[in-house]
Amino acid sequence: MVSLYDVVSTALCIDFCGYTYEANALLRWIIHGFGVAGFIGVKLCVTVVALAAVYYIIANNIHFGSNSPNGFYGIYLGVILSNIYAGTSNISVITGNTSFYLLSLDCMQMVVVLACIPLIGVLLLEIYRRC
């Protein structure tokens, strides 16, 4: 649902600002060549594939070396937080405000930070638990 919020808010923002608004160069190329429908299709396909892969790893308790699959919960949380931040920033642009800035980071940089911090936290917790 949160990924859908990001996709819809980005599509609205593209309609409002044009395709050059998208910060991701690959998605900007897709929007330019295939329109908003192409963007939505690619974004939703990538989201479904990623979620299916992570679900499969967790459901089957697949280990990567000595790491347990619990670290993937950090990926889930990071994706949720980053999509909420990006979607809210998109809505802010549409309503006439500028994109949200936090700690002097723009929206794209904050999305990366929010996507990685929970994973790092879960991995550190896992290391602490093993000690």
Each residue's pLDDT tens digit, 87-104: 777 777 777 766 656 666
Nearest to 51 by CA among 90, 1, 87, 6: 1
67 beta partners: 64
pTM: 0.60
115: left (phi over 0), alpha (psi -120 to 50) or beta: alpha
- Amino acid 16 reads F
Per-residue pLDDT, averaged over 80-85, amounts to 77
CA atoms of 18 and 13, how far apart (whole Å):
7
* Residue 85 predicted with pLDDT over 70: yes
What is the per-residue pLDDT for 47?
Answer: 81
Token pair of 96 as six digits: 């006439």
Residue 101: phi, psi to the nearest 5?
-120, 135
- Kindly tell me if the per-residue pLDDT of 48 is higher than 80: yes
pLDDT band at 36 (very low <50, low <70, confident <90, very high): confident
pLDDT value at position 3? 76
Say how many C-beta atoms besides its own lie within 10 A of residue 110's C-beta.
20
pLDDT band at 108 (very low <50, low <70, confident <90, very high): low
Instruction: Report how far Cα 118 is from the mean position of its chain's Cα atoms.
Output: 13
